[in-house]
Amino acid sequence: MNETVSAKADHDVVIVGLGPTGATLANILGEYGLDVLVLEREESVYPLPRAVHFDDEAMRVFQSIGLAEAINRDARVNVGTKFVDSNMDLMLDWSRPQEIGPLGWHPSYRFHQPDLEAELNLGLADQDTVTLVRSANVTAVIDHDHHVTVSYEHDGAATSASARYVVGTDGARSVVRASMDSGWEDLGFKERWLVIDVQLLQPRPDLGDFTIQTCDKTRPTTYVRCPRDWRRWEISLKPEETAEMVTEDSFIWPKLRPSITPQEGAIRRKAVYSFESKLATRWREGHRLIAGDAAHLMPPFLGQGMCTGIRDAANLAWKLVAIMKWGASDTILDSYEMERRDHARIYIETAVNVGEMMNSAETAEALTHAVSPDGSARMQSINRGLERAIGPADDSFSGMRMPQPVLADGQRLSDAMQGRFAIIGRGAALQVCNLPSSMVAIAVNADEHDEMDSMLDSLGVGALIVRPDFYCFGGQVDADGNALGRLVTALHQELGLHQAPGSNA
């Protein structure tokens, strides 16, 4: 990766913002060989933690760009959350599974954001077609008929770059979103919380590995077990409490639950955040798009803010590639907002519900009923497909989040896909279909792979297509060539390919 201003006048994509969403998107596009310019305001990676959780779906995306193993070394598997009352008595146990899940990874991880961003940046350094410009202050984004011009200041000089598409991953105050006809839909949650990051000075194993949500109407708090010697506390604030007041040590130390002393840990960061629930009203306008916090804001109670941005990146990336590499119609990008906005809404509304539980539930019974009306004192992970998804008409499998079976040669499905669609069928059916080129899709004969065969049986289908972002494009109950052919034809039509680009190699 070249970290100087590109001498080229044009790029395939300009990405504004190099947080986890922007860095993931840049890595994915770089894997496809697209010419990408990344403009980042900061000089270097922020050295302190912010986000602290990601899930198996995010890890599968990191796997697709070859970074999962490195990221996994620095992360820790999350054991779960315990909801307690003001006396620290258990109200609800949300233990997370400790075994590898159907997506090929553990369901939940805790991480140190500077570690994650360092790995994502190392990935970018290996991308020959990605150019990174740091200390770049974007001043204007103008959409023309066939390209976008981005003006920015760098090293005291005004300059500009053009690209076919610009993606704003530049946070809640997005310059790219501001250039679009896009506002905020407010979903009604707004609270101020104090976030404290502590580095232990001596071992405190009694703090435990579980996240602890203290449901206390007078002062809800959260404790998070982060990797290595990092620990986090989040403390709700009252309207009259000013930022100056709550960032004083005299305020902080008595409020930490479970408790810790200044002799046992050093405060490395203290910041007042406004936790909000918002969705951008428009995610695409012409050749400008937004993702991550530029498109949605949610309270942190599920740890899904960054994960949702990673899903945005995976969804958007293959559609940009389909246009610029596979000859797909630009209209495929219309599905980006359709698919991602409703999906993000589910996570926001669930996070808001958890936050409201912390503020209002006074008994174990009330909390249990709020999250699990069947009366079981356990809470399950969200495992939602896309509410609305492209695919064949009336296909109940379209948008389903797909598992990751291991193939007969030991490869996991995502590794074999290499950013392409996977067309999965049985035997002769694959031989009679007019399959896309090997640049667009791989063909997998389920009869030759035990785990693939079991996956089709468990879903009750004879054929299906997995998208590059690991959701289902569509499925057919029948396993014959006509059924698979209908799926493939629907794929050609959705991509705007009037005929198959060729046959599989």
User: Is 70 domain-assigned?
Assistant: yes
Q: Looking at the structure, tell me whether residues 135 and 52 fall in a common domain.
A: yes
- Rounded (5°) CA angle 422-425-426: 145
Q: Looking at the structure, tell me whether residues 158 and 38 fall in a common domain.
A: yes
> ω before 203 within 30° of 0 (cis)?
no
The per-residue pLDDT for range 278-292, each reduced to its tens digit, is 999 999 999 999 999
- Angstrom distances, CA of residue 158 to CA of 132, 139, 144, 152, 154: 17, 9, 20, 6, 6
User: Is 39 domain-assigned?
Assistant: yes
For the chain, give the percent of residues with pLDDT over 90.
Answer: 77
Q: Does the pLDDT value for residue 325 go beyond 80? A: yes
The per-residue pLDDT for range 133-179, each reduced to its tens digit, is 999 999 999 999 889 999 999 988 999 999 999 999 999 999 999 99
The per-residue pLDDT for range 247-269, each reduced to its tens digit, is 999 999 999 999 999 999 999 99
Q: Looking at the structure, tell me whether residues 417 and 340 fall in a common domain.
A: no
The per-residue pLDDT for range 41-100, each reduced to its tens digit, is 999 988 888 899 999 999 999 999 999 999 999 999 999 989 888 888 888 888 888 999
- Neighbouring CB atoms inside 10 A of 163's CB total 23
Q: Looking at the structure, tell me whether residues 470 and 450 fall in a common domain.
A: yes
The beta strand positions in 179-220, using DSSP E, are 184-200, 211-214
Contact 101, 88 (CB under 8 A): no
pLDDT: which is higher, 473 or 84: 473
User: Is 48 domain-assigned?
Assistant: yes
Residue 501's pLDDT band, with cuts at 50, 70 and 90, is: very low
Contact 215, 301 (CB under 8 A): no
Residue range(s) defining the domain that contains residue 362? 10-74+112-184+279-371
Q: Does the pLDDT value for residue 8 go beyond 80? A: no
Q: Looking at the structure, tell me whether residues 212 and 294 fall in a common domain.
A: no
Over residues 327-355, the mean pLDDT reads 93
User: Is 265 domain-assigned?
Assistant: yes
Q: Which of 243, 277, 311 is the last residue of a domain?
A: 277
Residue 5's pLDDT band, with cuts at 50, 70 and 90, is: very low
Quote the radius of gyration of the chain (alpha carbons, Å).
24
CATH number, domain of 177, equals 3.50.50.60
CATH number, domain of 224, equals 3.30.9.10
pLDDT: which is higher, 360 or 268: 268
**Count of domains for the chain:** 3
Q: Which of 310, 339, 371 is the last residue of a domain?
A: 371
Q: Looking at the structure, tell me whether residues 343 and 429 fall in a common domain.
A: no
Q: Looking at the structure, tell me whether residues 353 and 426 fall in a common domain.
A: no
Q: Looking at the structure, tell me whether residues 208 and 143 fall in a common domain.
A: no
Report the mean per-residue pLDDT for the chain. Answer: 91
Over residues 293-307, the mean pLDDT reads 94
For the chain, give the percent of residues with pLDDT over 70.
Answer: 92
CA distance 230 to 181: 41
Would you state the pLDDT for residue 500?
A: 44
The per-residue pLDDT for range 394-428, each reduced to its tens digit, is 899 999 999 999 999 999 999 999 999 999 999 88
Segment (H or E) for 278 = strand 265-280
Q: Does the pLDDT value for residue 20 go beyond 50? A: yes
Would you state the pLDDT for residue 504?
A: 39
Q: Which of 277, 294, 326 is the last residue of a domain?
A: 277
Q: What's the DSSP call for residue 320? A: H
Q: Looking at the structure, tell me whether residues 217 and 290 fall in a common domain.
A: no
For the ranges 138-142, 382-386, 491-495, the lowest mean pLDDT is seen at 382-386
Q: Does the pLDDT value for residue 209 go beyond 90? A: yes
User: Is 387 domain-assigned?
Assistant: no
The per-residue pLDDT for range 83-121, each reduced to its tens digit, is 888 888 888 888 888 999 999 999 999 999 999 999 999
Over residues 297-311, the mean pLDDT reads 94
User: Is 212 domain-assigned?
Assistant: yes
CA distance 463 to 343: 25
Q: Under 8 Å CB-to-CB from 489, ≥6 apart: which residues? A: none
Q: Looking at the structure, tell me whether residues 218 and 358 fall in a common domain.
A: no
CATH number, domain of 429, equals 3.40.30
User: Is 100 domain-assigned?
Assistant: no
Contact 137, 125 (CB under 8 A): no
User: Is 96 domain-assigned?
Assistant: no
Question: What do you get for the CA distance between the two ends of the chain, in Å?
Answer: 31
Q: Looking at the structure, tell me whether residues 228 and 265 fall in a common domain.
A: yes
Report the candidate in 385, 336, 305 with the shortest Cα–Cα distance to residue 103.
Answer: 385
Q: Looking at the structure, tell me whether residues 157 and 228 fall in a common domain.
A: no
